[in-house]
Structure 1
Amino acid sequence: MNSPTSDVVESIRARTLLELLDVTGNDEALIEALAELGLAISQAAFVPLLERLETAGLIETSRVQIGPVAARVVALTMAGDDVRRGRTERDWIAAPTVSAA
């Protein structure tokens, strides 16, 4: 069972991941971007987060072979874009922040 703090951090990571996915990204670049934003995550913890987002229909993933390296490409779905923009909500993903005008 996760602690309330780890649930909040995962919720923020999920929100941030959706916001980082303007269109597509690869797993390594997304892990690096999360770390730069103070939301560091291990590859072992990142994979279940991707799987949860994909199971919810918010992203699609595929494997691409680039020379000797296999990369996971992550793409935002229309449903994921709706959550990213705050049009729909998931109780396990942090709500988008409202910026002051």
Structure 2
Amino acid sequence: VLALWGGAAATPLLQASVIASVGSALGLPLSWTQVTLSLLLASTAVGAVPAPGGIGPVDAALVFTMVTFGAPMSLSAATVIGYRVLTVWVPLLPGALVLSILVQRKIL
């Protein structure tokens, strides 16, 4: 039970931490609490939209909620793009490398 509830709570908190870190690096004028609330509101608002991983609708809703909290549109959009780069695109590189090695060694 602890692993289930702990994992369910940790996932959005870690995602919010990445968004807050990227936003802080870019000068986003929102606190960690506001960024976390923005992520939770955006995720809840677009929960009914069938999109893989929430990519697209959640991003737009996240930018909208951060702008609602008083952040500039350009910084909000740049923060969300940086968040997606760090959480979706960067992990693909080592994964593709490992997959390539496993295929070459005929493990897969």
TM-score range, shorter chain: 0.3 to 0.5
Question: If the length of structure 1 is used for normalisation, what is the TM-score?
Answer: 0.33
Q: TM-score, normalised by structure 2?
A: 0.31
Structure (1 or 2) with the greater strand fraction: 1
